[in-house]
Amino acid sequence: MRIFKHLRSEWFRYGFETLAVVVGILIAFTLDNWNDQRKTKAAAEIYKQKIISDIVADTVNINRLMERCRSMQESIDTYFEFFDQGNIPMSELIDSSKQVNGGYFRYLPVNYTFIDMQSSGNTILLTDEQRIALIELSNNQEFLQIIIEKTITQIMEDEHSRNEYLDFDRSQNDFFESISMTLDQRSKAQGLKHQHNMLSKNHYLAYQMISKGESIKARSQNCLELLTAY
């Protein structure tokens, strides 16, 4: 009888000790899990704030480029309206074309944080909706870059061809006059034609920047709403 009492006493003691160990392990596991969740949430918040900062900076950049493009389009349109009047001396057309606000530019998206998250696998810190929206935004940014680079290549080809006939260097003096060379009207017309091709492609470049830029801005706004909603 005394043995049974002893065994029962030991059973309760070991049972209590085991229960205490199990409860301790569960508490430690819960605290560790809670700490991991807290760290994950903090990391996600840091990434989100950086992405928001990138989107804002990219939008400012797009607005600046779009403003430049509208000015470019207006200048090009004004020149072609002048050209379409007809009966204008070649030299005057060439001089007027030199005053056009043309040129080209490049669009470099500000999306470093999301690219870093993709390469490091940290996009799992975002919700599915946020991740999909940012991927679509990134794809649109890349597509605009491709269009711009392709158009710039075409512009540079016409620029090279134009410079074979017309003087567009930085010197204040006319290159051909300085070397006592006279261009015939046909050569000047050929150079002016390449200049027109350049201006037309500049106008197209501006159009793509404005139209695709508006689309990117709309997607950026959607991303901002999703990032600040959670």
pLDDT tens-place string over residues 71-111:
999 999 999 999 999 899 998 999 999 899 888 899 999 99
Burial of 38 (0-12, 13-18, 19+ CB in 10 A): exposed
Residue 32 has pLDDT above 80, yes or no: no
Q: Which residues fall within 8 angstroms of residue 200, CB to CB, at 6 or more apart? A: 76
Residue 223 has pLDDT above 90, yes or no: yes
Amino acid at 153: T
Cα 37 to Cα 30, 100, 211, 230: the distances in Å are 10, 59, 42, 15
Mean pLDDT of 132-140: 97
pLDDT tens-place string over residues 150-191:
999 999 999 999 988 887 755 565 656 655 556 678 888 999
Q: What percent of the chain has pLDDT over 70?
A: 76
- 119 alpha carbon, distance to own chain's centre: 17
pLDDT tens-place string over residues 40-65:
677 789 999 999 999 999 999 999 99
Residue 103 has a pLDDT of: 83
Residue 7 has a pLDDT of: 47
Residue 42 has a pLDDT of: 76
Residue 2 has a pLDDT of: 54
Residue 34 has a pLDDT of: 47
Residue 30 has pLDDT above 60, yes or no: no
Residue 185 has a pLDDT of: 85
Best CA proximity match to 138, nearest among 219, 194, 206: 219
